[in-house]
Structure formats: C-alpha cells, structure tokens
Amino acid sequence: MSVGTSSAPGAARAAGDLTGLGIDPDDLPDGLVVADEHGHVICFNAAARRITAIPAKDALGRPLDKALPLEDLEGRRWWQLTDPYGGLAIRVGQPERNLLLPGGREVLVTVRYLRGEPTGPVRRVVVSLRDTEARRRTERSHAELIAVVAHELRSPLTSVKGFTATLLAKWTRFTDDQKRLMLETVDADADRVTRLIAELLDISRIDSGRLEVRRQPVDIGAAVGRHIQASVAAGQPADRFLLRIEQPLPALWADPDKVDQVLSNLIENAVRHGEGTVTIDITPAVSPREGEDTGTSVTVSDEGAGIPEESMNRVFTRFWRGSKRGGTGLGLYIVKGIVEAHGGTITVGRAPVGGAEFRFTLPVSTPAYLT
C-alpha cells in the first residue's frame, strides 16, 4: 500500500487518496494514521478517530508523538523508543504490538516505514490501529466457557471417584443392593460426562462454522412420533403428548440425525421444564429464505410456567438455565445452531395456554437448491 501522492499539495488531499484504488482512508475498517517525512500527521482516518477518541483537528498537522501519544505496557513512550525517523536505515517498521492510548485504553498497533529508496530517509510512517475490544471479548468468553466446562465435568467425576473409591475400600461391607445403587449412580454420571463432551464438540463445530448438514428426505411427522414413543417408554404417560400434523406437508430435505437432536431437546425440555400436555404441531410454512417456496414449521408447546419475558432473548445462549431442573444449559444453543445450519430459524414465545412455545422452521432445501 502506498499512501499520499506528489501531485497533492495540501495535507488533506494527500491523506485522502489511497493511490489508484479509489478508496478513501475513511472506508478502511482499521485505524490508519500517516505521518509525512517531517513526522507530521497527514492522515487520521475515521476508524483511527473512533479507536483513539481523538478528533481529527487534534491530530492532523501535529507531530506523530503528540498526535498519537502511545505508550508500551511498561509506560515508556513508544515513538521515542522506536524512533522511526532516526533509527536504523534498514528498518521497515514495527510488528503488531499491544500499546496503550492516553487514558489506558489498549490498542493493537502495526507500523510501516516507507522510504523513497531502500536505505534512504523515511518518507512516510504508516500506522494501523486495531481495537482490542472484540478480541478481548472472545478471549473472555473462551475463558468463561473453560471455567463452566471444568465445573460441569468435575461434579459427575467427583461422584464417580467417590463411589468407586468407597466400593474398592469397603467392598465386603455393602449389600448387593447398595453396590448396585452406587454403580447405577456411577453409570449415570459417566453418561452425563459423555453427553457433555458430545455437546461441547457440537458447540465447537457450530462456533467454527464446521457443522456438517447431510441432507436426505426426512419424514418429520414420523420422527416426532418416535420421540413421543421413546418418552412414553421412559415412563411418561402417553396422554401427555398431542401430535398434530397439517397435511399436505412439503418434502423436507434435512439431516435426519440433527433433526432428531433438535426434536429430542425441545420435547425433553417441554417434559422436564414444562408441565401438562406437550403439543407438537407440524405445519407447512413460508420459508424464511426468499426465493424458496415453502418449508416446514414445528411448534413444541407445553402448559408449564413458560419462559419469563425478560429471559426470552437469553434462552438460546450457552449455559443459560432458568430453573433448578436445568441440565447444562447447552441444549437450546445447539438446537439453534443446528436449525441455522439448515438455513432455518427458531423462535421462542408464550403458548396460548401459558407455557413455553418453541417454533422452528426449516426450508425445503431440495437437492436442486443444494447443487
């Protein structure tokens, strides 16, 4: 990138021209500060003004070290330290550094020294500035994720360790029934760890956009029927479920395993967190994607307390759980990730009878659309 032209006499004009590209420095996503051969600032673009909170009039025309008084993390003045105009004539710049602006705000800084000829005097100092806020936010959310995961893994493992240690130390002192009970707890806790790890792998795929959707025709009515049967087999009364299918449904091309994951999470939530009858409505829908005719909507509603209004925008976030009956709070985050990977949408609301109502819509996504 070369900045400024010899044909532009004024500081403002020289700064407003990224040679030959027809781009205004204000269009750049990163902060751009340029100083001329005398060390005076000739460009201080919009992103630089935003990141530093320094107005253009306080920067333009002033010496670089006054206009952009950067310090390193030890409090040393950066421009004096690096001395762009006086340092070694073979220097080409400074690699990315985390520096401080007045007021202690952090900023990522990269500097290039432009010389007319290889070891000649510096003609331009080009500084790019990047906000660290977004990066720090992701780092924070990773740190939080690790903390929660460690905590979630520790409690079942503590119980596994406790019961196995007790059994090994006092095997002969327990009756068969007591041993069976302890082993059942260990078994359930091992399942919990396995499930948590599977969920974490899903999350990492969702977060990195690697969630693969292998589409084939899916009979969604039959899939919901199977989930209801499984719930009944696991002890729920059959009359707790009401399945309504509005025919005719358009064909649905989706990943059957992932659709199963979505259904099982939503139905399990309605059973576990909700109350009363769990109603599942399957209807044809106008697809949220433009240019496609239709899709399929599935609504799962119950008659429990529902989700409080003020928490509705948080139910799809990681680890949010509203009730004590909650699991890890990852279910709905994964559900949303899967639905969106299919090009669909999911919403939460209040059911007519008062419980929670989750509705997701999947576009038809015929193979023709895929190719």
Ligand X SMILES: Nc1ncnc2c1ncn2[C@@H]1O[C@H](COP(=O)(O)OP(=O)(O)OP(=O)(O)O)[C@@H](O)[C@H]1O
Residues that bind ligand X (CB under 6 A): 265, 269-270, 273-274, 302, 304, 306-307, 315, 320-323, 326-333, 356
Calculated CA dihedral for residues 349, 352, 355, 357, nearest 10 degrees? -40
Q: Which does 284 bind (CB under 5 to 8 A by kind): ligand X, Mg ion, none?
A: none
In SS3 terms, the chain reads as CCECCCCCCCHHHHHCCECCCCECHHHCCCEEEEECCCCEEEEECHHHHHHHCCCHHHHCCCEHHHHCCCECCCCCEHHHHHCCCCCCCCCCEEEEEEEECCCCCEEEEEEEEEECCCCCCEEEEEEEEEECHHHHHHHHHHHHHHHHHHHHHHHHHHHHHHHHHHHHHCHHHCCHHHHHHHHHHHHHHHHHHHHHHHHHHHHHHHHCCCCCCCCEECCHHHHHHHHHHHHHHCCCCHHHEEEEECCCCCCCEECHHHHHHHHHHHHHHHHHHCCCCEEEEEEEEECCCCCCCEEEEEEEECCCCCCCHHHHHHCCCCCCCCCCCCCCCCHHHHHHHHHHHCCCEEEEEECCCCCEEEEEEEECCCHHHHC
Q: Which does 322 bind (CB under 5 to 8 A by kind): Mg ion, ligand X, none?
A: ligand X
The residue (of 36 and 357) whose beta carbon lies closer to ligand X is 357
Q: Which does 307 bind (CB under 5 to 8 A by kind): ligand X, Mg ion, none?
A: ligand X
What tokens were used for 198?
Answer: 């599977």
Environment class of 344 (CB within 10 Å of its CB; exposed 0-12, middle 13-18, buried 19+): buried
Q: Which does 363 bind (CB under 5 to 8 A by kind): ligand X, Mg ion, none?
A: none
The residue (of 295 and 331) whose beta carbon lies closer to ligand X is 331
Q: Which does 346 bind (CB under 5 to 8 A by kind): ligand X, Mg ion, none?
A: none
Q: Least distance to ligand X from the beta carbon of 150, Å?
A: 16
Q: Least distance to ligand X from the beta carbon of 366, Å?
A: 31
Q: Which does 326 bind (CB under 5 to 8 A by kind): Mg ion, ligand X, none?
A: ligand X
Q: Least distance to ligand X from the beta carbon of 16, Å?
A: 51
- Are 223 and 263 contacting, i.e. CB atoms less than 8 angstroms apart? yes
The residue (of 111 and 206) whose beta carbon lies closer to Mg ion is 206
Binding marks (x or -) toward Mg ion, 272..311, rule CB under 5 A?
----------------------------------------
Does 221 help bind Mg ion (rule: CB under 5 A)?
no
The residue (of 43 and 149) whose beta carbon lies closer to Mg ion is 149
The residue (of 114 and 153) whose beta carbon lies closer to ligand X is 153
The residue (of 122 and 330) whose beta carbon lies closer to ligand X is 330
Binding marks (x or -) toward Mg ion, 253..272, rule CB under 5 A?
----------------x---
Q: How many residues touch Mg ion (CB under 5 A)?
A: 2
Residues 318-337 that bind Mg ion (CB under 5 A): 331
Rounded CA separation 124/4 (Å): 9
Q: Which does 323 bind (CB under 5 to 8 A by kind): ligand X, Mg ion, none?
A: ligand X
The residue (of 33 and 346) whose beta carbon lies closer to ligand X is 346
The residue (of 56 and 271) whose beta carbon lies closer to ligand X is 271
- What single letter denotes the amino acid at residue 114? L
Q: Which does 159 bind (CB under 5 to 8 A by kind): Mg ion, ligand X, none?
A: none
Q: Which residues contact Mg ion (rule: CB under 5 A)? A: 269, 331
